[in-house]
Structure 1
């Protein structure tokens, strides 16, 4: 019996060590020297989005576009998943600006002037001429139709604060202040995706994957596989990061470094 206990303890310790030491080694591809304040990300066409002196820029190898609106203050959120309909959110003025692919302003939505009381705390581009909106007055998530100027709530009111959120055309995902991860689809169905680790910065990947940083280190957590990886061989002095299509972009004071990573 004693031998069995010792053997079990040894195997348990061995499994624990391997679980703790799972690593993903990033392979450096290129370094881009950029004088920017905030790195936003790259789209599928390779366009770079960033902020410098609170001016929003879009840049590729041939052209540079910019959008500036000093009167609205600091840019809080940028959504460029639809390159023909880019969204800028200015939280201090409860206002959303929509831009075309050359960063020309196409629409300005001041929710403080709306007939329906809305204080926008979270937002993103949704499908069918709509915006995802989390209304902090009612603590509900819904759709704002920016052509009809109407709002439709799709969730009941819920407690807790949004620590982080992201959205695509069909899904709005958020993490509350207790590190619970949720998602709601366009029909209002709420899914509990799991409990996640504490983080400084975070980005949702595909399915149940999350990339996050904590205390200057980068990690990948896969809730489906119950696995946890440390991402190594990246600059640890990063300000923020962005992941898309197996390319991990790290932003530091020196610029942007792109790495190739292979997810197990």
Structure 2
């Protein structure tokens, strides 16, 4: 019976790829960045240039730099009051406030027990999701108590990407995409059909495959291609039905119609 349900689930995903989600062009702006991170409801733009994290608004631009920790691996701004900056080379996470001032520093080389981290993303409250590559599982880590609240069952294939909101965390591996709730329990999974990057959009996902963006609807369990022009996607982000696509020097905005 389980095999039949799984077959039906995968079949729905495959068939839905023939449908497209419309995206209406809004605007394009110039942006000189190495990595585009996000743009939030308050029109704050986050990006990395020359290994420096910038937060730019209409009024001013502020930045954060910590060259002693090496290159920035990833930045997560889902909670703008607790921004997570991951320095993978030195196995360290910095928590920043909305002024990009340091709130906490997590050096997992010195914390006990030792954790060898490859990916992080935002959790709820005072937590972050960590992928422990020695044990191949996710941990919901409380950085105030320095303890893991929950751990997931280990996965068997290489991790490609990690994203989250306050309720769920999505782990993309070469073989599968996994969705976990904030208790670390598996909600669903499906086979990875060539996707390389993911972004959370409410309870849904935007998935990138071969320079094409796709929309995963969590209610209908379907995947549909997003109808946008051909472009070389460097990074993408979505919030409030606005899809941002960065193509080196240019930041495009599209209005998604997912209803």
With normalisation by structure 1, the TM-score equals 0.83
Give the structure with higher Rg (CA).
Answer: 1
Contact kept, 8 Å, 1:140 with 1:153, in 2: the verdict is no
2:190 paired with 1:194: yes
Aligned match for 1:135, one of 121, 129, 132: 132
Number of paired residues? 245
Deviation at 1:196, TM superposition (A): 4.1
Contact kept, 8 Å, 2:161 with 2:196, in 1: the verdict is no
The within-5 A match list for 1:124-163 is 124-163=121-160
Cα distance, 1:195–1:109 mapped onto 2, change above 3 Å: same
The answer to which of 226-235 and 38-47 deviates more is: 226-235
Contact kept, 8 Å, 1:95 with 1:110, in 2: the verdict is yes
The within-5 A match list for 1:226-237 is 227-234=222-229, 236-237=231-232
Name the structure 1 match of 2:31: 34
Unaligned runs of 5+ in 1: 1-17
The structure showing larger relative contact order (alpha-carbon pairs under 8 Å, at least 6 residues apart) is 2
Cα distance, 1:139–1:37 mapped onto 2, change above 3 Å: same
d(CA) in 2 for partners of 1:20, 1:174 = 21
Deviation at 1:252, TM superposition (A): 1.4
Give the secondary-structure state (helix, strand or coil) at the position aligned to 2:86. Answer: strand
Q: What do you get for the CA RMSD once the two structures are aligned?
A: 2.3
Aligned match for 1:59, one of 56, 61, 69: 56
d(CA) in 1 for partners of 2:200, 2:125 = 23
Name the structure 1 match of 2:9: none
Give the secondary-structure state (helix, strand or coil) at the position aligned to 2:257. Answer: coil
With normalisation by structure 2, the TM-score equals 0.84
Deviation at 1:19, TM superposition (A): 6.4
Q: How far does the alpha carbon of each residue in 1:140-162 deviate from its partner, in whole angstroms, 9 at most, with x for none? A: 32232222222344324342222
Give the secondary-structure state (helix, strand or coil) at the position aligned to 1:169. Answer: coil
Q: How far does the alpha carbon of each residue in 1:156-182 deviate from its partner, in whole angstroms, 9 at most, with x for none? A: 43422222211223322112221x221
d(CA) in 1 for partners of 2:248, 2:150 = 42
Q: How far does the alpha carbon of each residue in 1:33-64 deviate from its partner, in whole angstroms, 9 at most, with x for none? A: 11111111112222111000110011111111
Aligned match for 1:203, one of 199, 208, 213: 199
Name the structure 2 match of 1:257: 252
